[in-house]
Amino acid sequence: MTRIPQEKLDRIVQRFAAVEHDLSSGASGDQFVKLSKEYAEIEPTAKAALALRKAYGERRDADEMIAAGGEMAEMAQAERDDLDTRIETMEQALRILLLPKDAPTKETSFSKCAPAPAAMKRRSSRAICSACISATRARRTGGSRSSRRAKASMAATRK
């Protein structure tokens, strides 16, 4: 895989530092809430970027030791191999953190009434799905006797 550009890491860390500074300088009201949310979103990414920058520096130091030769070169080579695998893992984790977040989705009927996974093993998923489908259909049509049946079916499914 390709290496994450240093400029990108720098931008992440700089933005994190700016948000941190703005929060500590006494923002008030809506600005404080906005900055707090941004801080919570960017913190894991910034921490991963800082750790990756540190690992890049350690690898650079190991390369210098290898180039210098001597008895430390062998130890530095072993350390560099370990660093390479660690850096690869860290880069992958940071790439995942950098993926755009999904927009919140509208909750469906199924997610409201579906039992916990352990309970699903004991019950027929078909009954759950048909109850959800009936409830959704009843809600869309304005409700009737079928909506009462759907509610009763959903209540029975939950038990």
Full 3-state SS string of the chain:
CCCCCHHHHHHHHHHHHHHHHHHHCCCCCHHHHHHHHHHHHHHHHHHHHHHHHHHHHHHHHHHHHHHHCCCHHHHHHHHHHHHHHHHHHHHHHHHHHHCCCCCCCCCCHHHHHCCCHHHHHHCCHHHHHHHHHHHHHHHHHCCCHHHHHHHHHHHHHHC
31 and 85 share one domain: yes
Residues 19 and 94 placed together within one structural domain of the fold: yes
Q: Are 107 and 121 in contact (CB under 8 A)?
A: no
What percent of the chain is predicted at pLDDT more than 70? 63
Q: Are residues 18 and 84 in the same domain?
A: yes
2 falls in which pLDDT band (50, 70, 90)? confident
Q: Based on the fold, state whether residues 149 and 79 are members of the same structural domain.
A: no
The answer to whether position 104 is within a domain reads no
pLDDT digits (tens, 9 = 90+) for 110-159: 445 555 455 444 444 444 556 666 666 666 666 555 555 556 665 665 55
Contact 13, 40 (CB under 8 A): no
Domain count, the chain: 2
Indicate whether 25 belongs to any domain. Answer: yes
Q: Within this chain, do residues 123 and 81 fall inside the same structural domain, yes or no?
A: no
Chain-centre distance for alpha carbon 14: 21
Of 52-56, 97-101, 149-153, the one with minimum mean pLDDT is 149-153
User: pLDDT tens digits for 135-145?
Assistant: 666 666 665 55
Please list, residue by residue across 129-149, b when 16 or more beta carbons sit within 10 angstroms of its beta carbon and e when fewer do.
Answer: eebbebbeebeeeeeeeebee
Give the model's confidence band at 6: pLDDT under 50 very low, under 70 low, under 90 confident, else very high. Answer: confident
72 and 123 inside one domain:
no
Percentage of the chain exceeding pLDDT 90: 29
User: Residue 1: inside a domain, yes or no?
Assistant: no
CA–CA gap between residue 108 and residue 136 (Å, rounded): 9
Same domain, 11 and 84: yes
Question: For the whole model, what pTM was predicted?
Answer: 0.58
Tell me what the mean pLDDT of segment 87-101 comes to: 89
Range of the domain at 115: 109-158
